[in-house]
Amino acid sequence: MKRLLDMRDATKELNILRALDHYKSPFEVVGTYRLIDDGLRPEATVIIKTADMEMHEASTGVGPVDALANVLNKSLSSIFPVIQGVKLVDFSSRIHDAKMGAAAQVEVSIVFTNGTEIWNVTAISPNINMASFIALLDGFEYAILSREDRDTP
């Protein structure tokens, strides 16, 4: 059977890369995100640091995950232009051990594309916003690393 798409498991690839002694992420988050969600227009803020700069940005969205995605896109695209072409095409979540109720672990899965490639990331946390934030970070990091690999002779 012909495959219609080739989706990369970015979480697996990043976990393997991070196990290497020489791996260094292209950016880091200072602290964590801040999220104000009034139920109407959530706002997220984040501080991103690279080797030579630090960006403090804020952005809104139609929901908390959209606000987190928008603030990361805004701050990272100013440093890494490749992010401008990255889109989120699917978001899903599922609860692990539903007997735990609201304290259950939540697994978030996000599919990204740059228009030619597709990759998937997953993250787990008891907090759906934190799981989403970790998955978003991984998806954008993968986009940056993928572009760097193509740009290297």
> In the beta sheet, which residues pair with residue 61?
none
pLDDT, position 153: 42
> In the beta sheet, which residues pair with residue 58?
45
CATH of domain 7-148: 3.30.160.270
Q: Is residue 113 within 8 Å of 89, Cβ to Cβ? A: yes
> Does the pTM exceed 0.85?
yes
pLDDT reading at 150 higher than 70: no
pLDDT, position 96: 84
28 HSE (CA, 13 A, CB side): 8
d(CA 68, CA 131): 11
d(CA 91, CA 129): 12
pLDDT tens, 88-144? 999 999 988 877 777 789 999 999 999 999 999 999 999 999 999 999 999 999 999
